[in-house]
Copies of this chain bind each other. A is one copy, B any other.
Amino acid sequence: MDSKAKEKIEKIIYDRKRAHKFFVENSRVYKSFVEMEERTFSKGHLDKKSKELIALGISIHKNCESCMEWHMKQALDSGATKEQILEAIEVGMEMGGGPATVSSRFALQVLEHYTNQD
């Protein structure tokens, strides 16, 4: 785990919390989005883990680094294993070709960040 990756991940988390606070206080549109998000990822006919892995695949395809960080953490907290995360990344690669292999590098750093911590 290199220190720049760690720093980048922590910056993402800091920026997310800070902006989240602002938008919750200042944007009714954002509040609807938060409700939409909660409904999307709560357990239904699919469990939370499966839903988060779908979002992780989309995040890699879209190259949204903050999304990768968030949905991978949620997937891990819902019981996803490292091997399962890797297979979700592989689906992203198949659907995105070369640029998705680039996105997957950051996903790998996030995976190391959350699974090598202790």
| A37 contacts partner chain B, Cβ-Cβ < 8 Å | yes
Consensus secondary structure, chain A interface: helix
Number of interface residues of A (CB under 8 A): 62
- Asked if B19 contacts A105 (CB within 8 A), the reply is yes
- Asked if A45 contacts B87 (CB within 8 A), the reply is yes
Tallying the copies of this chain within the complex gives 6
* Assembly CA distance A93 to B51 (angstroms): 12
Given contacts A86-B27, A105-B15, contact A95 B97 (CB under 8 A): yes
Q: Chain A: residues with CB nearer than 8 A to chain B?
A: 4, 11, 15-16, 18-19, 22-23, 26-30, 32-33, 35-37, 39-41, 44-46, 50-51, 53-59, 61-64, 66-67, 81, 83-84, 86-88, 90-102, 104-105, 108-109
